[in-house]
Chain A
Amino acid sequence: MVPTRIDAHRMALAEASGFRPQPDRRIDWFESNAYEIGQGQQLYDQFNCSTCHANGGGDIGPALMDSAWTYGGRIDQIAASIRDGRPNGMPAFRDTLTEQQIWQIAGYVRSMSGNVARDAASSRGDTMANTEPLTRIRQEPVTVAGRVDRSATR
């Protein structure tokens, strides 16, 4: 099986962070472990993601709690967006965050659209946020350019 670009990328990822993942073990881990998502929530606040994305509703940056994803809504795609940055404004956090921190934030971003294990997301943070409790929101299907991405919905 010729490794596709994504698989090659994932292998590099595994090497870089010292994980020895089967292809998708990390995807399940960061979408169902409450501690990781909780750390992601705190990192989201501390690294000022809310400056552009608010608390998920979007501001200068796109909304993170809806179903529209320009560069893919799967957790590894979100992690790639954080690590490498995206055109018109999303900075690369490759040298600012460690691999685990990137995946933790990606997990929290997934929880904003209800795409994590039901009992993993915590209801709210100890911050001012005019958003619905994460335990009460509906799960948003991930759509890329209008088409629903089957592989991204739990």
Chain B
Amino acid sequence: MTAAADLPRDGAELRGEALHARLSRTWDTPGDLYARLATVDHKIVGQRYIVTAFAFLLLGGVLALIMRTQLATPDSGLISADRYNQIFSMHGTTMMFLFAVPMGEAMAIYLIPLMLGTRNISFPRLNAFSYWVYLAGGIMIWVAFLLNVGPETGWFSYVPLAGPEYSAGKRTDFWAQMITFTEVSALATSVSLIASILKQRAPGMAIGRMPLFAWAMLVTSLMVVFAMPAVMLASSFLIADRLVGTQFYNPTEGGDALLWQHLFWFFGHPEVYIIFIPGLGFVSQITETFCRRPVFAYPVMVLAMVSIGLLAFGLWVHHMFATGLPRVGYSFYTAASMMIALPSGLQIFCWIATMWLGRPRFDAPLLWVLAFIVTFVMGGLTGVMVASVPLDLQLHDTYFIVAHFHYVLIGGMVFPLLGAITYWFPKITGRLMHEPLGKATVALGFVGFHTAFFPMHVTGILGMPRRVYTYPAGMGWDTLNLVSSIGAFLFAAAILLFVLNILWSLRRGRPAGPDPWAAPTLEWATSSPPAPYNFPHIPVVTGHAPLWDEPGDLPVMTGLRVDDRELLLTTVMDADPEGREASALPSIWPLIAAIATTILFIGSIFTPWAVVWGAIPAAAALIAWFWPKSGDVPPEPVIE
């Protein structure tokens, strides 16, 4: 055992280039395939997550274009009923489970450790495992879809339609198993994010000084922890009904179709806030940087985010107003659904106040925020409309609702996401995106979006129900649907423009340097792209906006080992330094465990025995993943 004193540490005696070389050797991920598959660097896993989730956005978008082409004209025979049902089910499933939730988490995996001033996410191997399971789930459902075994009962799969009698074959089984994949990965990442945000903040970054994006991800991760089990339980019951003949949803044997709806929407509504709250985090960071002042009324913003997170669990029944439950119960859910408009309204006020008080610079990210504000407020207001029971009984399951949720999901999450990618692209790649092209993308995106989705409000009021593969002519829906379809292609063009901008900027974007936007948060204190170890020394925070509060040299804390991967742990409330924790070394076992889990999950679609026999290799992989390798760096003496 080497004595604690003479272990190499960063500090006065080891700094600058020597420190960089020494730390790089400890933290770097070599280029060979094995190292790339075994990496646990949050930046590499984060980039993979972002690229994969964005790819699913594009795939889901293509499905949307096919749907709009089919619906552009009445009585269109372009696509058969069965094909259209699979396409709209896959569009919903891909966008909700494979793009929206994972993308919020992907950006957090990349950004949170950098924003908090630490070297890696808290459970790096669990995080790598989460990505592999997510990728496997996405590939499984898309391969099933291309083999004509895609889901056919919508992204919500109401029983008894999704039950064993009315949805024969393996289609709904693949959908239900895909839920298991994406929920396992979302839960794993959330636990990592919660631990990172609570325990690995830079010294001095008290809970009240955290960046708003960190608050957004803390609230989102806690919501994932309490919401996802509901859909895992519901989908497990559904798979059991379909494969081993349990009777959870069989109305004639004591089961109940509404058990599925209650469990699904208890997850479903928090899910849409799990998708939307990271968007709030993006908007707050962009507004702060481009208005050159901290967001107005920080405590109000935080309280609003937390109250949205809590309220989201109390209003799932507003998805079930038409199912004939007792009316007095409904008025409670109307009030709860209305109340959630208050915190959102206050946040909108605070962002605009930040622009009012600050000196806004209207680059592309801030333009996306403006597009977000205009679109999201309209979406929120239509949401207030459908919170009222009588109105919802007319508008539920019509195209009015399709318009509403695209306003709050595309407006509320995709616009801020595109702004966030433009904002953090220089930090991730070291090059700025093309600014004029960025502005053009915002304009085209905004116009395309509203051309596509505003007419749907009117189509819905005119009585067009959702999820119809065609509609008769002469109902007053014809021109409205045509306009929506044109708008959909315009919006797709904007997304294409965005992708081209990214591809062009990767090679020929202007070099960005560490802090191109003069931003306040810690990730802009290190190089672009950041070194494998993020920060040579752990920064110390003295205020809300670390880089603005310390114009000169940045205060830092030294003393972390450089020969082994080590992080600094701080207390939950005040972030006082509390301990040093060894960060997990790269390992191939998370990938192998993910493969074993995938085989178990897919096998269990065909035989329940796969759960029993598949559990053995999965357990073996997990044990090998946990078992310390003898070749590790010498541990510190046991009793200090």
Contact = CB atoms under 8 A, between A and B. Distances in A.
Contacts of A95: none
A125 interface: yes
B165 A34 contact: no
A119 B610 CA distance: 14
A41 B164 CA distance: 11
Interface in A98-154: 118-120, 122-128, 132-136
Given A126-B163, A126-B250, A34 B244 contact: no
B164 A34 contact: no
Interface in B591-616: 606-607
A123 B167 CA distance: 11
Interface in B147-170: 160, 163-166, 168-170
Most buried by B among A38, A119, A123: A123
Contact of B244 (A37, A119, A127, A133): A133
Interface in B113-130: none
Contacts of A122: 164-165, 168-169, 242
Contact of B170 (A34, A126, A128, A133): A34
Contacts of B243: 123, 135
Interface residues of B, number: 20
A35 B85 CA distance: 15
Given A118-B606, A119-B606, A125 B165 contact: yes
B323 interface: no
Nearest to A130: B253
A77 interface: no
B299 interface: no
- Interface on chain A toward B: helix, strand, loop, or mixed SS? loop
Contacts of B165: 38, 41-42, 122, 124-127
Nearest to B241: A123
Given A34-B169, A34-B170, A135-B243, A123 B164 contact: yes
Interface residues of A, number: 21
A133 B245 contact: yes
B630 interface: no
Interface in B235-255: 241-245, 247, 250-253
B469 to A, nearest CB: 17
B164 A124 contact: yes
- Interface on chain B toward A: helix, strand, loop, or mixed SS? loop
Contacts of A41: 165, 168
Contact of A125 (B164, B170, B244, B606): B164
B241 to A, nearest CB: 7
Given A35-B168, A35-B169, A42-B165, A126 B160 contact: yes
A38 B165 CA distance: 6
A37 B170 CA distance: 13
B169 A132 contact: no
A70 to B, nearest CB: 29
A136 B170 CA distance: 16
Contacts of B244: 123, 133, 135-136
Contacts of A118: 606-607
Contacts, number: 60
B82 to A, nearest CB: 9
A133 B250 CA distance: 13
Contact of A126 (B168, B169, B252, B606): B252
Contacts of A123: 164, 241-245
A112 to B, nearest CB: 13
A150 B252 CA distance: 39
A101 B163 CA distance: 22
Contacts of B245: 123-124, 132-136
Contacts of A34: 168-170
A35 B165 CA distance: 10
Contacts of A133: 244-245
A146 B521 CA distance: 83
A110 B456 CA distance: 48
Contacts of B170: 34, 119
Contacts of B163: 126
A136 B244 CA distance: 7
Contacts of B166: 38, 126
Nearest to B247: A124
Most buried by A among B169, B247, B252, B606: B169
A38 B166 CA distance: 7
Contacts of A125: 164-165
Nearest to A124: B245
Interface in A38-83: 38, 41-42
Contacts of B252: 126-128
Nearest to B159: A126
A139 to B, nearest CB: 14
Contacts of A35: 168-169
A54 to B, nearest CB: 15
Most buried by B among A35, A37, A135: A135
Nearest to A40: B168
Nearest to A39: B168
Nearest to A41: B165
A132 B245 CA distance: 8
A133 B167 CA distance: 16
Contacts of B164: 122-126
A38 B168 contact: yes
B556 to A, nearest CB: 60
Contacts of B607: 118
A96 to B, nearest CB: 22
A28 to B, nearest CB: 16
20 contacts: A34-B169, A35-B168, A35-B169, A38-B166, A38-B168, A41-B168, A118-B607, A119-B169, A122-B164, A123-B241, A123-B243, A123-B245, A124-B241, A124-B250, A126-B160, A126-B164, A126-B250, A127-B165, A132-B245, A135-B243
Interface of B: 160, 163-166, 168-170, 241-245, 247, 250-253, 606-607
Given A123-B243, A123-B244, A128-B252, 9 more contacts: A34-B170, A35-B168, A35-B169, A37-B168, A38-B166, A118-B607, A123-B164, A123-B241, A124-B165
| Shortest Cβ-Cβ A-B pairs, 7 listed | A133-B245, A38-B168, A34-B169, A123-B245, A122-B164, A34-B168, A124-B245
